[in-house]
């Protein structure tokens, strides 16, 4: 995160910071509590696995998320994805790399369908994953999986429809025999997309699938 040249804070513009954010802005970010569901990272006052994960255990083993999807992280991610502030991949990837446990064998970025890729010009998950792989030394498998259908963006759908929206949209061409895979993405919302990708990765032999997310939405 540190660079030799003083920079200015990406959030408040303070000059002469050692990294992309000044210390007060960094401290004010919506860091996600570690008192959380051991599977889906939902903050929990007590207990270790939330009711939803107990009722219907997901195909992924667990999620690690740095932030709640709240201000100003939501604004940073929005600027990164939709306003092409590509340099933010470095900041978001650095923050993610510092938070995750490294007992995995490879990183798979959440695939983006071709249409969406053409529209946006880059896969936001892949650019973050590149930074995380470089920082942690974990191997990156950028082409292990593909998304074969352009589904409506999850954000446009009611929560109930999100699981069926992503069914059978991923294809995995790699043999992941016995490997522990971390899926990198910017935001975890319902977990439906990660769940579906985890199903496909496990079918391809992955021994374990976890999510490495920059942010996680919290129920209101």
Out of 1, 8, 14, 79, which residue is the one contacting Zn ion (CB under 5 A)?
14
Residue 70 in the binding site for Zn ion (CB under 5 A): no
Say if strands 208-216 and 180-188 run parallel, antiparallel, or are unpaired: parallel
Size of the site for Zn ion (CB under 5 A): 12
Question: Is the separation of the CB atoms in 44 and 218 below 8 Å?
Answer: no
Residue 53 in the binding site for Zn ion (CB under 5 A): yes
At closest approach, how far in Å is the CB of 14 from Zn ion?
Answer: 5
12's tokens: 């408040």
Q: Which stretch binds Zn ion (CB under 5 A): 52-60, 99-107, 126-134, 158-166?
A: 52-60
Cβ distance to Zn ion smaller for residue 60 or 204: 60
124's tokens: 């936001």
At closest approach, how far in Å is the CB of 37 from Zn ion?
Answer: 3
Residue 139 in the binding site for Zn ion (CB under 5 A): no
Out of 3, 12, 75, 218, which residue is the one contacting Zn ion (CB under 5 A)?
12
Separation of alpha carbons 60 and 92, rounded Å: 22
The torsion of the CA quartet 81, 154, 71, 83, rounded to 10 degrees, works out to 20
Residue 44 in the binding site for Zn ion (CB under 5 A): no
Residue 40 in the binding site for Zn ion (CB under 5 A): yes
Cβ distance to Zn ion smaller for residue 117 or 163: 163
Separation of alpha carbons 125 and 130, rounded Å: 9
Residue 39 in the binding site for Zn ion (CB under 5 A): yes
Question: Is the separation of the CB atoms in 18 and 111 below 8 Å?
Answer: no
CB atoms within 10 A of CB 73: 22
Instruction: Return the bridge partners of 183, or none.
Output: 108, 211
Separation of alpha carbons 66 and 94, rounded Å: 11
Residue 9 in the binding site for Zn ion (CB under 5 A): yes
Longest dimension (CA), the chain: 51
Out of 1, 8, 31, 50, which residue is the one contacting Zn ion (CB under 5 A)?
50
Out of 37, 76, 138, 182, which residue is the one contacting Zn ion (CB under 5 A)?
37
Q: Is the backbone peptide bond immediately before 72 cis, with ω within 30 degrees of 0?
A: yes
Residue 18 in the binding site for Zn ion (CB under 5 A): no
Residue 11 in the binding site for Zn ion (CB under 5 A): yes
Cβ distance to Zn ion smaller for residue 138 or 187: 187
What is the contact surface with Zn ion in residues (CB under 5 A)?
9, 11-12, 14, 22, 25, 37, 39-40, 42, 50, 53
């Amino acid at each position: 995160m540190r660079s030799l040249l003083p920079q200015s804070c990406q959030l408040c513009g303070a000059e002469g910071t050692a990294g992309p954010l000044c210390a007060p802005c960094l401290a004010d970010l919506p860091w996600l509590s570690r008192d959380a569901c051991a599977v889906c990272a939902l903050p929990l006052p007590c207990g270790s696995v939330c009711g939803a994960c107990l009722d219907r255990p997901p195909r992924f083993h667990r999620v690690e998320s740095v932030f709640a999807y709240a201000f100003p992280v939501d604004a940073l991610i929005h600027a990164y994805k939709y306003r092409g502030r590509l340099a933010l991949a470095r900041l978001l990837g650095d923050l993610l790399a510092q938070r995750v446990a490294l007992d995995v064998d490879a990183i798979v970025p959440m695939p983006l369908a071709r249409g969406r890729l053409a529209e946006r010009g880059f896969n936001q998950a892949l650019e973050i994953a590149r930074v995380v792989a470089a920082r942690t030394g974990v191997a990156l498998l950028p082409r292990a999986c593909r998304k074969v259908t352009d589904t409506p963006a999850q954000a446009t759908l009611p929560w109930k429809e999100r699981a069926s929206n992503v069914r059978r949209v991923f294809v995995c061409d790699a043999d992941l025999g016995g490997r522990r895979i971390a899926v990198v993405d910017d935001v975890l919302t319902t977990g439906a997309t990660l769940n579906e990708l985890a199903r496909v990765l496990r079918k391809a032999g992955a021994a374990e699938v976890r999510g490495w997310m920059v942010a996680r939405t919290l129920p209101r």
